[in-house]
Structures are given as C-alpha cells and as structure tokens.
Structure 1
Amino acid sequence: METQAQQTKGDANQNLKLAIAMGILKYKRLQKPNDGDPQPPCNNASESDAIVWKRKAKERKAEILRLKEDLRLAEDGIQYDAFPQSVSCKCYFFDNFGELSPKLSNDGSESNQRRFNDVLRRRFLRQVRLSERKRRRLGGLTDRSCISDYASENELEQLRASVDFLVELCETVSPLRVEEDNFKNWSHLGIDFILDTLKALSSMGMEELAVESIVSSLVTRLMRRMCNAPQDESHHSPNNVQFYVQHLMRKLGSKAYVGQRMILSVSQRISMIAESLLFMDPFDDAFPKMHNCMYIMIQLIEFLVSDNLLTWSKSEAFDLKLLEEWLTSLCHARKALELSESRNTLYILYMDRIFGDLSRQLGQVSFLQKLKPDILAKLFS
C-alpha cells in the first residue's frame, strides 16, 4: 500500500512538472515568437483588415466633416460669390455717383441686362431666401397683401422679399461701413432684380394694386432712410450713407412706373418739410438735419428728371395722369419753398433749375399739348 501511494504521488508530480513546462513554453512563444516560427495566417489577415477599415472610417469621417462645412458655407450664401467679400462693385452701376448726367442711360438696355446673368440672379435669390428664413425664425411677420391666384403670384412674392432685403440692407449699413459687407454688390443686385421683376410683371399683366403697394412702401422706406441716415463729420464724404441711398433711388427711378411715383412722394415730402421749417427755430438742433434732407430730396428729383424724363416719355405705358399729378405736386412744393425764401434762397434756385430742365425736356415731346393748361402755365411761367 505504501509503495503504491508513493508511486501515485510521483506520477502526480511528473504531470505537474510537465504541465508547468508546457505552460512556460507556450507563454514564451506568445511573448517572443522566434523568427523561424511560422506566424498564424488568420491573425495577420484579421489585423490587416482592421487597419484597412480604420483608415476607411477616418476618410469617411473627414469627408462628412468636409461636406458639413460646404453645406454651412452654401447656407451662408458665400460659397459661390462672384465678388470677393472685401471688393466693392466696380461695374457701371455706380458710375456718375452724385453727378448730374443727362446722357446717363438707365433704360434697361440689352447690354446692361446681359450683365445681370443667371448666376448673379440665383446668388441674390439665395441671399433673399436666407434673409426670409431668418426673419421667420425670429418670429417676425411680413405684410402679405391679398393677391389673386395667377402666375404672377410667385413674381409678386419675389418682389416683396427683394424689397424687404434691399431696405434692410440700407438700414444696417453705417457711414464707416459703406465699403464693407458687400453693400455695393448686394444693393446693385437688389436694384437689378427689382427692376427685372417689375418688367416681368408688366409683361404678364401686373396686378396694379399689389404692385403699387409694394413700390410705394419701397419708396417711402428708402426716403425715410435717406433723410434719417447717420452722417459722419463731412457732409460730402464718400462714405455718406445718404448719397448711396439717394443713388439707389435714382437707379430704381429709371423705370417710369417707379420714377414717377418717386417724384410724387418726394415732392409731397418737400412740401411738408418746407411748412415745418417756417415754424422752426433756426438754432434748433433738428434744423440742420431737415435742411440736409431738403437738399438731398431736391437733388434726387433733379437727377430723376434729367436722367429719365425723355426716356419715360417714349414708353407706350407712360402715364400722363401720373405726370400731371407729380407736376402739380412739384409746383406746390415750389410755392411752399418760396415762403421760406427769406431764410434760404438756395431752395428756390435749385427748384428753378429743375423747372428749367422740365421745360426744356417737355418741349421736345409730342404730348405736351395734352397737359392741362393751368399746369403748362405754372411750368412755363
């Protein structure tokens, strides 16, 4: 029995030693594989596939991030800009800025229309839509006139949105930042787009009440901005916002439908300010501002008459009744300014220059005899 127990104990020790030896050998092989030992092909293939898929995942992640950045730039409206952000408009649009130019062509000729290509149109529309979405997110409500369900509805919506965009652009710019934020580029595109949309509406039979409401709102808001724009130290500084807004109104007035209504609104405003100046203390702080507003409005009328009256008169859609209306309003404005002549004779000199230009240009048109005799008497007196 004792001998058998000793033999069993010896076998167990042998098995234990053998197991320990095999474990140590296996551990050493795993820790430091010999160069001559064959490598397991399965493990190498798995490791190679893992590296490939990791690289693909990193590339896909980088691509997704790049696409997200492209989307953000596109939504900001700057990915496909035709002009660099720091460069102002150098085209024909700001030629004759602040200068009287009777030969200035503003009739929407084909050469000017070719400049307004499809790329710029899409660029401006994208910017307008972004502005509209931002306004809706902020909870602002836009005025929506009742319009009939015709093909012109889409054009009217585009006209309304572009008018809002242009006015907001003028309201956000300051005298020190006229050259920044693409003000010149966006304002140029805005004016061209508005005139182009009005032309399209005219060709399809525009809805008079809806369009007139939009145009009247545009003229009123721009005129308010022109008169109330902040000024820098120099009145005639090239960065004066008033002159830029005046130039935009001058360009809009190249279309008779807008220009005649613009003269009517501005002349009525002149009459109101002239009456206010009669009862205002010249030493009042608001007096210089009103004087400046008066000057820039009279100058705007002179620009509109000098640039466009002959071109308007050649149009088949020229409104003679509207012509008589704004001529009458202009005569009332002149009479109102005569009452303040003792304070400032420059107003009358400017108005006389306008009436002289009116007489010369209307004398060249064939419908002069169709005007009311009392208007002709005031005009040529």
Structure 2
Amino acid sequence: MASETTTTAASDEPLKLALAMALLRSKLVNKTSETSHPPSDTSSSEALKWKRKAKERKQEILRLKQDLVEVEDGMHHEVFPGSASCKCYFFDNLGKMSPNEISGEGFDERFKDVLRRRFLRQVRLKERRKRRNDGSTQRLFLSDNKAEETEQLRASADFLVELCDTVRPDDGDFANWSHQAVDFILDTINNTLSKGKNIESVDGIVGSLSLHIVRKMCTTLQGNAHHDARIHVQHLLRKLGSESCIGQRVILAVSQRICLLAENLLFLDPFESTFPEMHSNLYILIQLIEFLVSDYLISWSKTSGFATELFEEWVTSILHARKGLQLLESRCGLYILYMDRVTGLIAKLVGQAESLQRLNPNILQRLFC
C-alpha cells in the first residue's frame, strides 16, 4: 500500500512541474506586454487622436460657413473675376433687319458654362430673398437635376421680368444677365420639349413671360430720358423669339396690344400727355412683329413642334389690328403703311413655305387679299 502511494506521488511531480512552468511563462508574457504598452500611454494616444479629429472637423465647419457667407453675399469668388464678365454681343445689330451674321456666336463653351452657373446662383439668391420677404420656408434647388427644370424655368422667367424693371442701356450688368437669362430659358425649353414632358407647364410659363415682357416694353421707364431702354427690351424679345413657342406667343401678345392702343388712340385727344408715349409704342410693337417674322417664320415652319393653331391665331389677330389702325388713317397714315408692310411680308413668306399654305383657307384669303 505504501509503495502504491509513493508511485502515485512520483507520477504527479511532472504534472505539477508543467503547471508551474506554464503559470510562470504566462506571468512573464503579461508583464512584458504591460511594460511595452503602459495603460497611460494608450489612453494618451487615443485622446490625441480624437483631439486631432475634433480640430479637423472644426476647421471644416469654419470653411463651410465662410463658403456660405461668400455665396450669399453674391459673387465674391468667381472662376473669372467680376471685371472679366461676358464681352457681350447680345445687343449687337440692335434694330437692324435680319442681320446676315451675328458676332460672337462661336465663343468658348467653357466660358458659357461658367456664365450659366453664375446666372443660376444669381437666380437662386434672388429667389431666396423673395421667399424670405414673403415668409415662405420653401427653398428652390437649382441643380442639374432634370426633374427641377420646370421650376428653374419659372424662376429664370421671373428673374428676367424683374430685370426689365431696371433696364438701362449703359448698364453692363443688364446686358450680361439678360443674355444669360435668355440663353438659359431657351436651352431649358428645348430640353423640356424634346422629352415631351411638362409641356403644359412650359406653355403656361412661356405665355406669362411673353405677356409680362411685352407689357414692360410699353410701360417700363415711361418718361425716362433713356428712350433706348424700350428698344433693348424689344431686342430681348427678339432673341427669345428664336424659339417658336415663345416667338409666336410674343407676336400674339404684341398684336393684341396694338389692337388695344389703336382703340385708345381713336378716342384720345392728341394733346393729351400720354399720346406721344402711345404713339411711340405703336411703332415699336409693329417693328417687333416685322423683326420676328423676318428672322424666324421660315425656320419656325420647318420645326416638328410648330403650332399651326397658334400661327392662325396670331395672323388673325394681326389682321384685326390692321383693321383697327385703318380707323386712325385720317390722323396718321403711317400706321397703316407700316402694318401693310408687315402683312405683306407675312404673305410673302407664307407663299415661300409650302407647310404654311395648308392653313385655314379663310385666313389665307384674308391675308393675300
């Protein structure tokens, strides 16, 4: 029995020794690890890391705040400096009939993109101020998102109408902003109509834009020394009229305005203070119709989206305006002479365009008689 106990104790000795060595090795490993990476050093490095990140975030927020201030203040930082704005050719050939060549059409596309971004930012700032004054919290997002094109068009049209309130021929800002507004409006309409979407909304915006600018051409700056202001607005409408859906609505609005002026002049004393202004407006309106017909009628008739119903409507309105001006022939025969020149030009161009000869026979008969 004693020998068995001695044998068991002897067999346990290697096991105890192995356990002791394992415990000793574990303690040495832990001690070495603690020595090489003290807890205080680890926590200190983590704190420095988070402090550095917090500082970077703070600097980023400050930069964003500064950028926001610069954008809201306007054009402090542009890709091109403010003095290097568009060398605008927009009002070249002012008042000339069908110029053969328009200067500046081939300008750098990169420069055009910069001007477009500047214009969108200007529209956004003006829209933001308007909404703030109206107490509205809704924001206008002007981006390249195609879904926002109709809202961009509406805001740009409003911007252009308001710009006409401050027109001065010697103001470079008016030339630059009106040029960019017209280019943007025409591009947006072309893009929208080519997709066949939101056509009713575009028609409503275009109709309202045409009416408002025609009205402003006749009423803006009345009595102002800058008579050329109305000529500049007329030229602006002429540029917008390159797009058929705008040009035809402008002619319709102008012809209706002529009818109204003719009726007012018929019962107005020539010595009234408003007579010279109305007399001058008549010539500007008739001249605008002549410009639009001469410049674009043939090209309009060749487009797939040409609205023949709208064409028939404004031709009928012009013939009605001519009839109204005939009543004024005893006062001023030039009215009817100028109107006859316009109707003669329309008849000539209709005769040259086969697509226009398939219109309402009654209208064509009245036009050619």
Whole-angstrom distance in 1 between the partners of 2:264 and 2:192:
39
Compared with structure 1, are the counterparts of its residues 380 and 203 closer, same or farther at alpha carbon in structure 2 (3 Å cutoff)?
A: same
> Does 2:364 align with 1:376?
yes
Match among 126, 133, 137 for residue 138 of structure 1: 133
Partner of 1:34: none
8 Å contact kept, 1:170–1:245: yes
Tell me the residue number matched to 1:307. Answer: 295
Deviation per residue, 1:197-232 (Å, 9 max, x gap) = 101111221323211211111111111111012256
Paired with 1:342 and 1:222, the residues of 2 have a C-alpha distance of: 31
Partner of 2:309: 321
* Contact 1:159 1:197 (C-alpha < 8 Å) held by counterparts: yes
Provide the residue aligned with 2:284 in structure 1: 296
Q: Which residue pairs with 1:72 in the alignment?
A: 69
Q: 8 Å contact 1:86–1:182 — kept in the other structure?
A: no
Q: Which amino acid aligns with 2:295?
A: D
- Contact 2:259–2:321, Cα closer than 8 Å, also in 1: yes
Matches within 5 A, 1:60-209: 71-81=68-78, 85=82, 89-101=86-98, 103=100, 111=106, 114=109, 117-139=112-134, 153-173=147-167, 175=168, 178-180=169-171, 182-209=173-200
What amino acid maps onto 2:92 in structure 1?
D
Gaps in structure 1 of 5+ consecutive residues? 1-62, 143-150
Match of residue 359 from structure 1: 347
Change (3 A) 1:105 1:304: farther
Match of 2:217 in 1: 226
Q: Give SS of 1:93's match.
A: coil
Q: Is the 8 A contact 2:301 2:353 kept in 1?
A: yes
Q: Are residues 141 and 252 of structure 1, via their aligned partners in 2, closer, same or farther at CA, if it must alter by over 3 Å?
A: farther
Which amino acid is 1:132 matched to? E
Structure 1 residues 227 and 211: CA distance shift in structure 2, 3 A: same
The 1:321/1:87 distance shift into structure 2, 3 A limit, reads same
2:233 maps to which residue? 245
| Deviation of the 1:300 alpha carbon | 0.8
Q: Which moved more, 1:328-337 or 1:179-188?
A: 179-188
Is the 1:195–1:252 Cα contact (8 Å) retained in structure 2?
yes
Task: Provide the aligned length of Structure 1 versus Structure 2.
Answer: 306
The CA distance in 1 between the partners of 2:69 and 2:189, in whole Å, is 32
Counterpart CA distance in 2 for 1:254 and 1:302 is 14
Aligned residue identity for 2:126:
S
SS at the partner of 2:171? Answer: coil
Residue 93 of structure 2 contacts residue 99 of structure 2 at CA under 8 Å; is this kept in 1?
A: no
The amino acid of 1:203's aligned partner reads S
Residue matched to 1:19: none
- Write out per-residue CA displacement over residues 111-164 of structure 1, whole angstroms, 9 at most, x where no aligned residue: 57947732222111111100111001111679xxxxxxxx86411100000011
Once residues 83 and 179 of structure 1 are traced to their aligned partners in structure 2, the CA distance between those partners, rounded to angstroms, is 22
Distance in 2 (CA, whole Å) between partners of 1:113 and 1:356 is 40
Structure 2 distance, partners of 1:368, 1:227, is 31
CA contact (8 A) 2:115 2:180 kept: yes
Query: Aligned equivalents of 1:83 and 1:99: distance in 2?
Result: 32
Mapped to 1, the partners of 2:229 and 2:170 lie a distance apart of 10
Which runs of no fewer than 5 residues in structure 2 stay unpaired? 1-59, 138-144
Q: Structure 2 counterpart of 1:136, which letter?
A: R
Instruction: Report the CA distance between 1:103 and its aligned residue.
Output: 3.8
Are residues 1:270 and 2:258 paired?
yes
Quote the offset at 1:368 in angstroms.
3.5
Q: Cα RMSD over matched residues?
A: 3.2
CA distance, structure 1, for counterparts of residue 325 and residue 127 of structure 2: 42
Q: Distance in 2 between matches of 1:344 and 1:88?
A: 45
1:376 is paired with a residue whose SS is helix
Contact 1:88/1:184 (<8 A) preserved: no
Give the 3-state SS of the residue equivalent to 2:352 in structure 1: coil
Q: Summarize deviations over 1:334-375 as a string: whole Å, max 9, x none.
A: 000001111111111111111221122111111233122222
Moved more, 227-236 or 340-349: 227-236
**1:79: how far off?**
3.0
Matches of 1:341 and 1:163, distance apart in 2: 38
Q: Deviations over 1:143-189 (max 9, x none)?
A: xxxxxxxx86411100000011111111133x4xx333611101100
Structure 1 counterpart of 2:114, one-letter code = V
